[in-house]
Amino acid sequence: MFALYLASVVGFAVLAQWLAWSLRVPAILLLLITGLSLGAWPAAPSPDLLLGDLLFPIISLSVAVILFEGALTLKLKDLKGIGHVVRNLCSIGVLATFSVIALASYLIMDLDWRVATLLGAVLTVTGPTVIAPMLSIIRPKKEIDRILRWEGIVIDPIGALFAVLVFEGVTLSQHSDLLSHTLLALGKTLLVGCSLGVAMGWFTTHLIRRKWLPHELHKFGVLAIVLLTMTLSNHLSEESGLLAVTILGIWMANQDDLEIDAILEFKEDLSMILISALFILLAARLNLGDLWQLGPMVLLLMIVVQFIARPFCIFLSTIRSGLSFKEKLLLSWIAPRGIVAAAVSSVFALSLEENRVTDADKLVPLVFSVIISTVVLQSLTSSWITRQLELRRPNPETILIIGANTLARAIGKALNELKIPVYLSDPAWENYKLARVAGLPCYYGSPHSEQAERYIPQHEIRYVLALSPNRQLNALGIQHFAHLYGEEQVYSLPPSDMEQKKNRDSATFRSRQVLFGKEVTYSRLRNIIENGGKVKATRLAEAFSWQDFLQTNHDAIPLFVLSDKGLECIITADNPVQPTAGQTVLSLSPAKEAVRNENNIGQTRGDSTS
């Protein structure tokens, strides 16, 4: 029964994630519905009865991995460069949100002060995994988008740490009325968590640097260290483990000479599994009756969270920021809660119930009520509010190129010189380095990964060109971005004859939009570039028409058509074009053709070499 239940949870998690991907809604919403449905099903056993004493360790260790993965993205140099608004949101804003929600829950819900205080602390954490897809849909102006993304990333571990410290103070206060004893215990938690986190971070980095741990064991080795750090820290000082693993992640993230991309990618995959399964398990523990028993006053608390706590936090944190009133209003509206709040509250509630704290059983239902209300309300209304406030970003113009190889760099540089913004992505370090040297913005890694969402400006992307020789990288990118932007915005090169013979299913490895022509393969383009070919821009005129261009440049491969307004179209196999006078044709010319053009065509402008 145990194995069947766990297998069912994993299966439902995959189904919920797939439905969320298909419907383009936050996955947390469908995971929540799945968990509540599973919990309400009479034949389904309760997670508490089925897992027994394993439930608390599973939740605790899962939260540790999730927080560690979030901490791996927290680079101190990035924190310094994102402006005082984000810093204020993660310091003053946390205290403001905590104060308003704690006081409101104490007065409105008549909760025990310890539970009210802990509820306020837990709800300071927003949900970055919910915010990112939401921002991709609503496309707010750059400054708003940047603030919300970085707030979600930074406040995740900071808010969780704050909740841990508040929890420590709450649990200690019931054993002693002496403030000094409480402060001493809090100091012990900070000392143990920070010291062990730094020590394990130093140990882990040296383990990797000195190659004492084989490369193939990096992922599992680091996972073992995270779990060991969590349990050892909790053994030395109760509830200090989350602090320790977060410090461990921050330490590793800020080692300049430490390669952690593979570790981070593995932790992202693991976190997705844990978040999905964990959220279903946590929601399944809830009885719908528990939500109803909160009474109508919970609606008033939801109003306070959405319309008082968040605006108070934003307006206090953005004093003298230069943000307009409309921008502050939009920031005040978007703050969905997610899996970290759900998981941390479940861990705390189990401990409070063991200590027989009054109203401890209301903590999790209240947190889930806030999650439901914020995710549903903000997902449904944020796009409309953004439009009404006239804060929606203009139509995107950036071209994302999958690959940073010689061909991709040549095309990217030519477009960039013509003021068409481009962004490259490649998991090969050498290609990434050469792209940056060429002055092209480039992401080091797979463009479809979760980590890439934090760095690639996806809300600015208009078209995606798959130009990598890596078929798998192209295929995954095509599938990801075709779903995100639509198939008509994603382009790929046709396969070579050899690829077609080897792969009967080659259609799955390319988009429906075939770049530049059915015979224009990657190998052909690369050979032209490597043999001295150049990407050239030729401006058409009444005296030099499109037909004149084709006759003069019979060996050239037309790539794009541009006008003074920007990119007009991408030339494809199924899209014959007829550029007119005043427009510019960007083409790839073989070496001899390029030389002849330079000598004979005075209207040609802008070369770009590989």
DSSP notation for 7-58: HHHHHHHHHHHHHHHHHTS-HHHHHHHHHHHHHH-TTSPPHHHHHGGGHHHH
Give per-residue pLDDT as tens, 62-95.
878 877 877 777 777 665 655 788 888 888 999 9
* CA 313 to each of CA 153, 319, 339: distance values in angstroms, whole numbers, following the listed order: 17, 11, 21
What percentage of the chain exceeds 70 in pLDDT? 88
Cβ neighbours of 182 (radius 10 Å): 18
137: tokens are 């849909």
The DSSP secondary structure of 465-530, one letter per residue, reads: EE--S-HHHHHHHHHHHHHHH-GGGEEEPPPPHHHHHH-TTGGGGS-SEEBS-TT--HHHHHHHHH
pLDDT tops 90 at residue 414: no
Q: Which of 2-16, 283-297, 488-502, 555-569 has the lowest mean pLDDT?
A: 488-502
**DSSP letter at 565?**
T
Region of residue 90 (left: phi > 0; alpha: psi -120 to 50; beta: else): alpha
pLDDT (average), residues 350-362: 81
From the centroid of its chain, how far is CA 539? 41
In order of their start, the domains of the chain are 2-388 (1.20.1530.20), 398-608 (3.40.50.720)
Task: Identify which has the larger pLDDT, 180 or 214.
Answer: 214
Per mean pLDDT, which of 1-10, 128-137, 380-389, 504-513 is the most reliable?
380-389
Amino acid at 475: A
Name which residue leads in pLDDT, 370 or 594: 370
Report which residue type is found at 462.
Answer: R
Closest residue by Cα to residue 485 from 395, 385, 424? 395
Name the strand (E) or helix (H) holding 301. Answer: helix 297-304
pLDDT value of residue 416:
87
| pLDDT reported for residue 345 | 83
pLDDT, mean of residues 497-520: 61
The answer to whether 154 and 90 have CB atoms below 8 angstroms apart is yes
- From residue 481, alpha-carbon distances to 346, 489, 516 in Å are 35, 8, 20
SS3 398: strand
State the chain's mean pLDDT as an integer.
Answer: 80
Residue 329: helix, strand or coil by DSSP? helix
What is the C-alpha to C-alpha distance for residues 128 and 227, in angstroms, rounded to an integer? Answer: 23
Question: What per-residue confidence (pLDDT) applies to 258?
Answer: 75
283-316 confidence digits (pLDDT tens): 887 777 777 888 889 899 999 999 999 999 999 9
pLDDT of residue 103: 95
B/e letters for 547-579, b = 16+ CB within 10 Å, e = fewer, are: eebeeebeebbbbbbbeeeebeebbbeeeebeb
Q: Which of these ranges, 290-299, 349-358, 506-515, has the smallest mean pLDDT?
A: 506-515
> Which residue in 560, 540, 536 sits closest to 549, CA to CA?
540
Cβ contacts of 37 within 8 Å, gap of 6 or more: none
Nearest 5°: phi and psi at 444?
-90, 100
pLDDT band at 173 (very low <50, low <70, confident <90, very high): low
pLDDT at 601 over 60: no
Return the minimum-mean-pLDDT range out of 156-170, 283-297, 319-333, 524-538. Answer: 156-170
* Residue found by looking up tokens 């005075």 in the block: 602
Residue 501 main-chain phi, psi, to 5 deg: -70, -40
What is the Cα–Cα distance from 534 to 609, expressed in whole angstroms?
A: 5
